Structure 1
């Protein structure tokens, strides 16, 4: 039985979609804050109450689960205590395997996001539960969701300089997760560094939007502080999210969002789509 945390989220839903191409629905359990919402999204899949912040729900939710797909929490700054609760519960009930979504090169990355992932990886290893770590790179959607705003303004702002970025879509990462979950014993002990096949710079991204739309798009490099203010004051993002994105682009300039292997390609058996193709789809 495979339990998927955060199963109503975007990555969780895509993972379930890919798993259903491989295994029966009755071998999957959604572990979620709102079982009612999960049942509406996936009527044929059992849904159980599972809240990272309420340890009393966790052991019951994990009963009978052999493989746990621990999708990292979305609340930056709260992830480590939340993950600790889940790992402790998994150990108590005898979960056989944990598959965890981490961050590209979490053990060496300078991104602020890396610390909680690095600490979670260590907790999993210390738990004694056989594990697989999926170190996901940057999502293509982190850029694609802002395509229309860039087209409207004619300007792409960013703090990544001319550093190369290797992205893949959520579905690419979800497909890799489904491959691992379906035959988890074949992957135990592996730490997979996952990133897209084709890298791009923000200048290249601006040029690709220009080519797809016929409209000139200017790339405007900014300092991390300038970019953070741009995200809050112009784009209207919450301060916390803006800080995370600005920090990430700061180190993307130094190559921290660039992959160096074709592991994702090998796991899913195909190339990941280029940013140019994804832009065309988005518009």
Structure 2
């Protein structure tokens, strides 16, 4: 039995869709915090169980019968380490044979502030005694394409990544890879550095949007502080704006680049090109 946490999230739903192409629905369990939001999964024949990262007692019943577990990293930055430890402890108690964790690209050396909780989780997982595989996800292309509407309206893409190369891929690409690992043998102990095949700069992203829209879209490179201020002015919470700006600075230092092609090797095809991701959003 394969159990997926955060199953109604953006990545979780895509992982389940990919798993359904490989295994019957009866062998998949979706663990969620809001069962009502998972009724579409129930309709597919997938068992849905309730558990909450902040309520350790809920995980014992959620993991009954688990052979493999995909721990999708929590979205609650600042609380992730303890939340992940809760699931790892429960997995150990349940005798899970393989725990797959979605970490961050080059988490062990990444300068990103986001890396800290992933580093702490990986360390705890290694010490837990639970057989594990670490799926270090690179940047999601959607992190940038989600705001293209605003970029087109203002004629500019703002950031502080300089000319840093970003080897992103779509969530669907990563989900396919996660599903491959979960349905493959001999994965314990492996660490995958997953990233897109073709890297780009934010200047190149602006040029691609310009090409597809016929409008002049420029990339405006700011200092980290100024970019954070722009994000706050746009309505983002201060903490989230800081993380995004910090990530862009990390990109300028190479933190979002990788050329190992492990992602495309796992899924058996090239990752989604930037041009296709942009066209899909437009």
> Which residue in 2 is equivalent to 1:251?
250
Distance across 2 between alignment mates of 1:50 and 1:281: 34
**Alignment deviations for residues 227-262 of structure 1 (CA, whole Å, 9 cap, x no partner):** 0000010x2112121111000001110110111211
> Which residue in 1 is equivalent to 2:59?
58
> Which residue in 2 is equivalent to 1:72?
73
State the Cα distance separating 1:40 from its structure 2 match: 3.0
> Which residue in 2 is equivalent to 1:5?
5
Q: Is the 8 A contact 1:113 1:244 kept in 2?
A: yes
> Which residue in 1 is equivalent to 2:128?
127
> Which residue in 2 is equivalent to 1:236?
235
Distance across 2 between alignment mates of 1:177 and 1:277: 21
> Which residue in 1 is equivalent to 2:95?
94
> Which residue in 1 is equivalent to 2:202?
202
Task: Check if 1:166 corresponds to 2:193.
Answer: no
Distance across 2 between alignment mates of 1:119 and 1:40: 34
Q: Normalising by the residue count of structure 1, what TM-score does the alignment of the two structures yield? A: 0.97
Secondary structure of 1:48's aligned partner = strand
Distance across 2 between alignment mates of 1:59 and 1:125: 21
Distance across 1 between alignment mates of 2:126 and 2:38: 30
Q: Is the 8 A contact 1:130 1:189 kept in 2?
A: yes
**Alignment deviations for residues 162-201 of structure 1 (CA, whole Å, 9 cap, x no partner):** 1111100000000000000111x32221100000000100
Distance across 2 between alignment mates of 1:12 and 1:110: 26
State the Cα distance separating 1:37 from its structure 2 match: 1.8
Distance across 2 between alignment mates of 1:16 and 1:150: 32
> Which residue in 2 is equivalent to 1:266?
265
**Alignment deviations for residues 12-70 of structure 1 (CA, whole Å, 9 cap, x no partner):** 00000000001000100011111232123442111111101000101111111110100
Distance across 2 between alignment mates of 1:46 and 1:277: 34
The gaps in structure 2 that reach 5 residues or longer are none
State the Cα distance separating 1:101 from its structure 2 match: 0.1
Secondary structure of 1:272's aligned partner = coil
Q: What is the alpha-carbon root mean square deviation over aligned residues? A: 0.9
Q: Is the 8 A contact 1:39 1:45 kept in 2?
A: no
Distance across 1 between alignment mates of 2:196 and 2:42: 29
Distance across 2 between alignment mates of 1:105 and 1:149: 31
Secondary structure of 2:168's aligned partner = strand
> Which residue in 2 is equivalent to 1:38?
38
Distance across 1 between alignment mates of 2:74 and 2:135: 14
Distance across 1 between alignment mates of 2:39 and 2:71: 19
> Which residue in 1 is equivalent to 2:189?
189
Q: Normalising by the residue count of structure 2, what TM-score does the alignment of the two structures yield? A: 0.98
> Which residue in 2 is equivalent to 1:222?
222
Distance across 2 between alignment mates of 1:84 and 1:271: 34
